[in-house]
Structure 1
């Protein structure tokens, strides 16, 4: 019998045929399913109601169902059925929902390049839906870009994921001062309550209409100011006592009237915000009468992006596109310049052992959509990262033979007008090398760094070649062979991983993480990757997010294989700021996905 996190394609649950896994979190897994030729979404609780799990996933999915049955709005996801599997009494709870063939709101911004006029129309519908739910006694409590889907065919928005939601007279599931939610979208008054009552486990914050209004305002702020909200987690900070800059200051394409309205929606004091989502809707409707070219011009600079298939994000034809000759010449020149820079650094480093410093020199990058090489010069401005922060490169990490470490990006700063494209290491180059431990070997290693190309320097772990988290790239052939041919694991299968073996705990428990090597352990495994398997990898914590990649698995019987296991099926996961600079707070355990390509 399959666990809810591991339903394979073709598996049936009371007649609903599983097409594929869409995603999984601490509380449940979501699948695309089919019945009678119609596609739906199926959400399954991670634990049975009688399991006593700390996450209370069964109770939370039941709460989500309770929220949805109170609602019936064209812009709120609709439930169609529910049940328990495999038996109706003690089985895993599942809920069948409408399937939205489209994108999250964050992805929609990147793929559609909307105008201010289109954004206003979309948020008019969202604010109407939020006001409707409030009128029915329901609070969402976790409104954010990833909890809004936009249908690809007509740009119709849908509010999804009520797992943190609440409704009148619902049972209290929260054992902390604040309800579940996402820190960035938490209202200032809720954050203040947590600061004042964080040590009082009996204190409970009374969630209000203005909390959801604030979160909706932050969503609009991000759509207007973040050109790549899905692929780049670095956004202008909105938390704290001080107001963020006006959207028009961050993006001159934002109309002034719209910029002013957003600042009212996210005012620090609730009495200075619109009192209801209906008030937000009316303000936005008034803006539809505004005229001028700034309302019909795309809000963000257009970049060469492929036409992606909704819900999959793939296009094989784009992968086969050949870069232009001029860009190739630029890449060659930049690679030589990068090698020279590494050589200069090596000559200084050979005489003294010190921490690597951040360089603002040009770096070879590739367009996030086409894969074509780009020459991007990192500016000296700040793009929302707190001033004074820096990243220090750790010592090179050695791996077992045949285990390739994930490629790493050079550190760079960017302004809102410069988009970050991930560096993709040349797969034809030699695999990662070990850095000698002796002082003489260290000098020899640095000389090799000086002679290496930029791509090889990244793979070797040379000083100055890290520490910004890497972008998408292919999993090494050795790891693919080990996973899919030797161990016979299916792509997309997941296991529950304790991210850092030294911080054991459940998904509901928080840990503190920083950049560097990590040793994880499989907490809830499968036959091919059993519980107790040790995973060797690396963690990146830049930009208020956590990315963990494991490249080696040591099974309980002692066998060791190269692997590609990622925490976060779609890349870096949003995290909260840690107690010290450079750290983040994140779940101690999370789902690790077997991947063919690093997300």
Structure 2
């Protein structure tokens, strides 16, 4: 059957099998969207070769023309569907635009996750390739703008991910084709910043939102969250107003908190992708890829080789006689508690022998803040036991990290009926993407944590001091630095020490292959130690609690080969001290190198000092020290 005449009634969304469009014969329809219909077609010149043909629903559709330009010229990549031909139908000049692409025999990302139930390692390998594809596309100014699971196909033949459907795509220099405030898109995958812009500017004619590359990565994070949990972070069925409020103001529960099979490092990566502020996400696909590869490389193999979900097989009367068991995943239940921290409150904390922070105080790495001596006169005793004073504050719990904001208080603090608040318990902290993998069997923790008694504040020791103060600061500089860093350190509440540590120091270990050559290429000389800071710290050195396992630290640009600094990936070993061995370096431009670097304290001792309050399974440490290049780990 052929439809070639202008008199024929054209229904581009409902072509029957056998319809000829140019030199292509329709076999079956694959799907219909808001702007085009997609068919599986056969090349009539080469019977048996099948492709996908997308036909615009309206003649002269500018979206279809832009998609052709993207796939034919701009968005050429091994993980983007390949373009073959284009034309107009049924008339060669006035008809509907169509174009032909590879027919990708495979499943959408979410369907693949539920029907194949791959391992976390297989998922991360696919996600890493998608991240690199976005890095390449964004590098030439191409934006997808409609990233979702059905637009990422996993090819059956080789497991490669393939990006499809650039119908809402854009590229640098392209003319706008809509008058909307924000680009069209899928509501539950919109970024918080686009939702905020729409709320603030929807009534202003001519105001246009500038979509950013980080929003493609945000939508990828939403898609991966759906894959590893079986749920979207923000329910698509909500009314638009409620959905927008959730996207803009709420954090979903961490995947590892209800799909207990999820490696903690992967859960942290996804939560960083879903950060409300773009600057807190991965800025490029290359950095996301590096984080994913580091998480797998340094993680426990058993956790990454586990399937995403448990299988739940249908047996017995549900099956026909002699039929093989049908399997489907056991989808984790969505937790009833929100991931959004509660509102700020007042909390009683131990009195600190430091000057109160003033607005405008800043912390500068390399300077030691002065300690303010207590007054000579006897202090008036407070009715609260222990001489506590009232402080206002917010304890901000970030993914994999904790920091005390100026004027903040602990959100987990409990206020009993007698009106005397108790301090919140110390939360464990580790760098982003660096928490050890675990698959606990217990139920998710409840929102309300039980408060514990506060221990002594951790103090700066002589091992820490050289890192905080490389040269003697002036009086004005000391006043500027103030007590912010030390105030944060003093406000971290420690748990009582549980006794002597039993773990031995890590055994000697050779450097990874190529590490010495890579360090030489980068101008990193053996013994030339430079300052590091744990990646979770945002310019405020203090104490944190860490466990044995993966870690990331951030370097400055002191080494001549590091323009703009870099990230070190490695492991922490808990013994009499905390020994850090780092074997992977990612530079600012995204390239990675094998390295051989250990952590030193401020006075150049191997291993970081364990602060009072450390126990057998965790250690309280200072967040800065020296990264020391070595030719082997002692």
Q: Return the TM-score normalized by structure 2.
A: 0.47
Q: Which is higher, the Rg of structure 1 or of structure 2?
A: 2
Select the structure that is richer in helix: 1
Give the TM-score taking structure 1 as reference length.
0.49
